[in-house]
Amino acid sequence: MARALPPFPPEHAGTLADRVAAWLRAAIVGHGFPSGAKLSERGLAALLGVSPMPVREALRRLEEEGMVETRPRSGRRVADLSPARLREIGLARAAVEGIAALLAAERASAEDRKALRQALAEVRAATRSGDADRVKAANEDLHAAIHRAARSPDLARLLAGFAAYDHMTRRAVLDTAEERARALREHAAIVEAILAEDGQAAEAAMRAHALRSLAVALACLETAQSGPPARTTDRRKRA
């Protein structure tokens, strides 16, 4: 029996395509649609009670993020997001995030530095609140501020390609108060090095943070993915 699917986001959460995309991400992250599960446009539309158009747009977005892939003669399926593949992506991400931190230390403007301080303050406040969703959002905003400070369109394109990894791992990494506190300390060290214009220290701190987060996420995902068989949204009869 497949795992329960998440609730559909409310109307205030964005356009219909935004909400379908958010629902699909949550379903994939929660293994309601595991790696390899077929994603039928019409089947998803019927399941959600919407027209095919927002489903088509949501699937396109998730394909750009790497969470969905189109296979010849097979159609769209959930991409391979196994621990082995996520490890490969995570190792590459650690290197690129490290370079982003190094460049941020070299290139951050006064406005960037202010944004980094504000983003770190929100991470601290979110961590104190104990709200895992708020911490996740604050961490994403801090990483985005570092990426902007790096001022590198090439790095931005590379980092966008790691969206599937981020969606699959960030909540697992921040699942406990202990991990959230550890992440706060690591983020503070990264920002401190960037503000001190110490590129080597910023790169080393970011790379160490990303690699430690990868190890935590893989340990969680190995357990989570030893679950049920793939769900399908293909409504045709099976042989």
Give residue-wise pLDDT tens across range 84-126. 888 999 999 999 999 999 999 999 999 999 999 999 999 999 9
Which pLDDT score is estimated for 135? Answer: 94
10 Å CB burial of residue 232 (0-12, 13-18, 19+) is: middle
Confidence category of residue 30, pLDDT binned at 50, 70, 90: confident
pLDDT at 225 (0 to 100): 54
Average pLDDT, the chain: 89
The structural domains of the chain, with segments of one domain joined by +, span 11-81, 83-223
Residues 6+ apart with CB under 8 A from 27: 5, 6, 33
Nearest-angstrom CA–CA distance, 199 and 106? 6
Return d(Cα 188, Cα 26) in angstroms, integer.
Answer: 29
Tokens 């949501």 belong to which residue? 58
Under the banding of pLDDT at 50, 70 and 90, the label for residue 194 is: very high
pLDDT-based confidence at residue 233 (cuts at 50, 70, 90): low
Spatial distance between the Cα atoms of 216 and 213, rounded to a whole number of angstroms: 5
For 148-176, how does the pLDDT look when each residue is reduced to its tens digit (9 = 90+)?
Answer: 999 999 999 999 888 888 887 877 788 88
CATH number of this structure's domain 11-81, picked from the four choices 2.40.10.10, 1.10.10.10, 3.40.50.1110, 3.30.300.30? 1.10.10.10
pLDDT at 239: 37
Decide if pLDDT at 231 tops 60: no
Residue 238 in this model has a pLDDT that exceeds 50:
no
Count how many residues are written for the chain: 239
- The CATH superfamily of 83-223 is GntR ligand-binding domain-like (1.20.120.530)
Vertex 19: Cα angle to 154 and 45 (nearest 5): 115
DSSP, collapsed to helix, strand or coil, labels residue 77 as strand
Pairing assessment for the beta strands 68-71 and 75-78 based on DSSP bridges: antiparallel
- The pLDDT score that the predictor gives to residue 12 is 85
**Of 107, 96, 95, nearest in space to 155 by CA:** 96
231 φψ region: left (φ > 0), alpha (ψ -120 to 50), beta (else): beta
* pLDDT confidence band for 230 (50 / 70 / 90): very low
> What are the residues facing 70 on neighbouring strands?
76
Distance spanning both ends of the chain, measured CA to CA: 19
The Cα 186–Cα 142 span in angstroms is 12
> What's the rounded Cα separation, in Å, for the pair 211 and 94?
6
Contact in structure between 9 and 22 (CB atoms under 8 Å): yes
pLDDT band at 209 (very low <50, low <70, confident <90, very high): very high
Q: Who contacts 73 (Cβ-Cβ below 8 Å, separation ≥6)? A: none
Average pLDDT over residues 137-147: 96
Residue 15 CA neighbour count, 13 Å, CB half: 7
Per-residue model confidence (pLDDT) at position 68: 92
